[in-house]
Amino acid sequence: MTDIANRRPLALKTLTTVFLVIWLIAAAFPFVWTVWGSFKVEADFFSRQSWWMAIEGTRTQAQTGSAFTLQGYEGAWIKNEFWKAAINTMIVTLSVTIISLTIGTLGGYALARSGYRYAFWILIAALVFRAMPHITLVSGYMLPFFELNIWGVLPTTIIVLVAINQPFTLWMLHSFFLSIPKDLDESAMVDGCTRFQAFRMVIMPVMWPGVITTGLFSFLLGYNDFAVTSMLLSQQNQTMVPKIASFLGSIQNEGNVMFAVAAVVSATVPLFILVLFFQRQIVSGLTAGAVKG
Amino acid sequence: MAQIRLVNVSKRWGSYVGVDNFNLDIADAEFLVLLGPSGCGKTTTMRMIAGLEDVTEGEIWIGDKIVNNLEPKDRDISMVFQSYGLYPNLSVYENIRFPLRVRGIPKAEHHERVMRAAAMVELGPFLERRPAALSGGQRQRVALARSIVREPNAFLMDEPLSNLDAKLRVSTRAQIKNLHHTLKRTTIYVTHDQIEAMTLADRVVVMNKGLVQQLGTPTEIYDRPANTFVASFIGSPAMNLIDGDVTDGIFRAEGMALPIPLGVSGPITLGFRAEDVQVVPQGGQLSATVYSMELLGDATLVSCRIGPALVSIRAAKDFRTQIGAPLHVAIPPSAVHVFDRSSGQRLSDNTGLPAQATSSKTGAA
């Protein structure tokens, strides 16, 4: 490995290193900049005089007596009840993940083991729904939800997100189930299991990596969704992402935009931890999907 | 008590016929081998007996009940799969115990039964390992132990040896034969390897394209193949089959003349086994040039071409010749099998030609 790397011409090595460094800065800078800026006041972070002020925190020093301040976080979390949005996000994402996985494992298993033609068509239909922009589905939901008086509450949003997420979960778990040899179910059934027992006692223990990966993707979908949550949730039931958007929508008030910045950082940190923790599963899941389609 | 009976069993997928009108009675404690090339329907037949495949038509009886609509778990059978089908997340011990656990057999019995089954296939030292940490032969033995631990009415084995190397295959084959002798259970064994079929079976069913070609003991199938398919499938090397014409009771093909006193005339296929004929210095019924010579150690295999057919002759171990040298072969009448050319069906009904033909033949030679 290292031998081959060392044999490369120096120019190429320099080029790749430079490219990687530039790429790393380009990718990481926005996030690092936001984290840094979230501890400043608006006059610094959005300074018109010099962007150097955001680094040094001149105004922050003048206004609060320290180069760093928690004003943005305090305003977002306490004054504007961002904690409520965080709890809502937790409820929505966990529910979406659990419901999607339950339906997805059962359905994916059934489709993977079904010898019938319709299994294929169900998967194709699922793919079509998956391909549609989320917003097109939501616009159709609005009127019926108003009529039925179920607009604005969390359960409705959860159901819609599950519906949007399900095709993907189904596809992904389906391909995971396909990679488990049929002999395993069959030997379980000959050994004395019913179909469901074979699923529960033999297939599921082997499926955990697939379930965790699919669960992560479902979690991310629920967590990051804007289209559905912003349209279907009332002001007091908002989750984090639309809440951040509404902070940004009211920048005429001094300091509000800093609430948004602080909230963005607050919403991103858990994702970072999650991805770092599960990176192995995410990568293996991505390649499994890539190979099995 | 565990006879298995198949009555007019067929399996079709749309217009494709997997198994066609299969009839078979398997006696209690019999070792029956389903033999055929891949795609001949032998595995499908076994899977129908196991309940893993629906029967399109006909009845399957196990013991005294029709099992067509029973789940696999209710048929009291066990099965060894070609790919073993071991549970990767369980240890060897738990794999073997699994059938006892799911069938609610009293816990107190588990340990003893698992240990007994493991001992039968010599798995003692590996009980705590995961299947991934075992070699192919060991995995195969775990699958065997799992199938015998419950002592079901019948064992089904789907090409259990095909993933093993040649040496291991021989020893595991002996082990299976011995297990069957010890347990005395009805066993159905699917293979495409005719040597496995010959060595293990009480009776063999030779199948091709979903149809039963012949049912009989290994000796019957070897000595009296019912048609050219069976003749060319069984034996190593397979039976030599030569197309030719019979006129006035004499079979003629390129380099061959042989009296056939069966009253047949016109095109036939003539067959004989490599070991039933002899290389002679002069005369004989077959004259050709040597195409190839293979030393087998215990014998020498000489081959020659008769038209498109490659004909093998087994000679003594110290026989030597050159490629291209003339070859004379004596074909005793008892070695000759006669088949109809178009249908491939056997025409001579004994092993070889009728007795009176032998004397007239000897005179001619």
B183-225 confidence digits (pLDDT tens): 999 999 999 999 999 999 999 999 999 999 999 999 999 989 9
Q: Give the pair of three-digit tokens for residue B271.
A: 């067959």
Interface A–B counts its CB contacts (< 8 A) at 63
Q: Which CATH architecture best describes the domain B237-364? A: Beta Barrel (2.40)
Decide: residue A72, CB within 10 A, 0-12 exposed, 13-18 middle, 19+ buried. Answer: buried
Q: What is the reported pLDDT for A290?
A: 39
Q: What is the reported pLDDT for B315?
A: 92
Query: Given an 8 Å threshold on Cβ–Cβ distance, is A190 in contact with B88?
Result: no
Q: What is the reported pLDDT for A282?
A: 67
Q: Report yes or no: B76 at the A interface, CB cutoff 8 Å.
A: no
d(C-alpha A201, C-alpha B71), whole Å: 17
Q: Report yes or no: A192 at the B interface, CB cutoff 8 Å.
A: yes
- HSE-up of A204 (CA within 13 Å, CB side)? 12
How many domains does chain A fold into?
A: 2
Instruction: Give CA torsion, residues B191, B193, B198, B204, to 10 deg.
Output: 40
d(C-alpha B253, C-alpha B303), whole Å: 16
Q: What is the reported pLDDT for A159?
A: 92
Strand runs labelled E in A70-198: none
d(C-alpha A286, C-alpha A279), whole Å: 10
Q: What is the reported pLDDT for A2?
A: 55
Query: Given an 8 Å threshold on Cβ–Cβ distance, is B84 in contact with A183?
Result: yes
Q: Report yes or no: A117 at the B interface, CB cutoff 8 Å.
A: no
Query: Given an 8 Å threshold on Cβ–Cβ distance, is A191 in contact with B146?
Result: yes
pLDDT in tens, chain A (293 residues): 456 656 678 888 899 999 999 999 999 998 888 888 888 888 888 877 777 777 887 788 888 888 888 888 888 888 888 899 999 999 999 999 999 999 999 999 999 988 788 888 888 888 887 788 888 878 888 888 999 988 889 999 999 999 888 988 998 899 889 988 888 999 999 999 999 999 999 999 888 888 988 998 899 889 988 888 988 888 888 899 998 888 887 766 666 788 888 888 999 888 888 888 887 766 765 555 433 32
Question: What range defines the domain where residue A16 resides?
Answer: 1-28
Rounded to a whole number of angstroms, the distance from the CA of B72 to the nearest CA of chain A is 5
On whether residue A2 sits in a domain, the answer given is yes
Q: Report yes or no: A191 at the B interface, CB cutoff 8 Å.
A: yes
Q: What is the reported pLDDT for B354?
A: 45
B5: which strand partners? B25, B61
Query: Given an 8 Å threshold on Cβ–Cβ distance, is A206 in contact with B85?
Result: no
Q: Which residue among B77, B82, B88 sits closest to A190, beta carbon to beta carbon?
A: B77
d(C-alpha A227, C-alpha A239), whole Å: 12
On whether residue A65 sits in a domain, the answer given is no
d(C-alpha B325, C-alpha B87), whole Å: 59
On whether residue A107 sits in a domain, the answer given is yes
Please name the residue that has the structure tokens 């669960």: A215
d(C-alpha A223, C-alpha A273), whole Å: 14
Regions in chain B scoring below 50 on pLDDT: 351, 353-365
Q: What is the reported pLDDT for B225?
A: 92
Q: What is the reported pLDDT for B362?
A: 35
Note the pTM of the prediction, 2 decimals.
0.78
d(C-alpha B10, C-alpha B7), whole Å: 9
Among the four given CATH numbers 3.40.50.300, 3.90.980.10, 3.40.50.261, 3.40.50.1860, the one describing domain B4-223: 3.40.50.300
Q: What is the reported pLDDT for A6?
A: 62
Contacts of A194 in chain B (CB under 8 A): 71, 73
Q: Which residue among A187, A192, A201 sits closest to B85, beta carbon to beta carbon?
A: A187
> CATH number of the domain that A278 lies in?
1.10.3720.10
